Structure 1
Amino acid sequence: MSSINQSRRRLFSRKKNDTVHLPWVKREIEFTDECTRCNKCIQACETGIIIKGDGGFPEVNFSIDECTFCQKCVNACPEPLFTETSVSPWQVTASIQNSCMAYSGIWCQSCKDACDATAISFTMAIGKAPQPHVDITACTGCGACVAPCPSNAIIVMTKPVNPPSCE
């Protein structure tokens, strides 16, 4: 199968919620309708995580680094896409997938070590590697846990509407 067909298949099979656009984007707008793809946010990003995504629209790639919430993308954008930066930057959270090495009995806590918000904790269990848990109320969605994960088991996704209790 040609790479063009594979790219096209990936484009059409991709879920809309898989893409993380920029922090502080107004929730009431359709980002792709308002963004002019000027790339000023990409150039301004201090950690280089804003990339050209599908259709040339900017999106965040946490496999590169984390979002420091520096607001440089907001300040660089000439369009009225953003809310006040005093509110929560976005409604995303880290999610640990089944490919996590801890689920296979391998002791790894690289995600916890990278999490400044201490939103990732591990529960000890007899005869098992400690098991990870994400406190979605504490998770800022910065993505600091994504790049250090050796098994690519962490994704950043839209928070559930009714988050489960972390108790």
Structure 2
Amino acid sequence: MATSTNRRNFLRAKFHIADLPRPPGAVGISRFSGLCDGCGDCLDACPEGILRKDSQGLAVLDLKSGACSFCGDCIQACQTGALTEEARADWDWVARIQGGCLSLNAVACRTCQDFCDEQAIRFRLEPGGRARPLIDETACTGCGACAAACPAGAIDFARMETNELEATA
């Protein structure tokens, strides 16, 4: 997971902050953590109720509790400039399947595929009764519908360029 630091966290001796999914429209982790004052207006505005505060008091998207509709209500509620319409176009989070996936462990499950409106998840059959979930990163919107539905909690999210770097390494 990528980390970043900014002046505020440096002065608090918190040299690295995790790059967590922030609300769509977040202006970049360093700028966001400097602009967000933790007021909670975006949390109150979210109709899905999937925004939470992290340990720093900053808004974070909890995609395991529900899907994001990308409605923009959080952006409209933000008065500090930490969330903008322009930055929403830069949303680059995609789903990533972890080893706890039931299908990878020979248990018949396709729940994530059933909940993916974008049809970004497919399964490739493998020997031993397993089926490997494959994510089409170009189709995945990072909405979280798959993660919220996963009975094993085996889906998390990463920035698309992070996944591309891992694939080439």
SS in 2 for 1:111: helix
Q: Does structure 1 conserve the Cα–Cα contact (< 8 Å) formed by 2:118 and 2:140? A: yes
Larger proportion of helix: 2
* Partners of 1:117 and 1:135 in 2: CA distance: 10
Report 1:101-116 matches (<5 A): 101-116=102-117
| Corresponding residue of 1:154 | 155
Residue in structure 2 matched with residue 38 of structure 1 by the alignment: 39
Written as runs of structure 1 = structure 2, the 5 A alignment for 1:130-149 is 130-149=131-150
Q: Secondary structure at the match of 1:42?
A: helix
Q: Give the alignment of 1:58-69 within 5 angstroms.
A: 58-69=59-70
What is the match of residue 18 of structure 2? 16
Distance (whole Å) between structure 2 residues aligned to residue 54 and residue 34 of structure 1 = 16
Give how far 1:52 is off: 1.5
What TM-score comes out, normalization by structure 1 length? 0.81
CA deviations 1:72-113 (Å, max 9, x no partner) are: 000011122234359635111100001111111111011111
1:91 corresponds to which letter in structure 2?
Answer: D
Q: How many pairs are equivalent?
A: 152
Superposition misfits of 4+ residues, deviation over 4 angstroms: none
Deviation at 1:152?
0.9
What TM-score comes out, normalization by structure 2 length?
0.80
Identity of aligned residues (%): 33
Looking at structure 1, the residues matched to 21 and 58 of structure 2 have their Cα atoms a distance apart, in angstroms, of: 11
For the residue of structure 1 that corresponds to 2:75, the secondary structure is helix
Aligned to 2:123: 122
For each residue in 1:10-39, what CA deviation from the matched residue of structure 2 results, as whole angstroms up to 9, or x when unmatched?
A: xx8x8612x111102223852111101111
Aligned to 1:47: 48
| RMSD (CA atoms) | 2.3
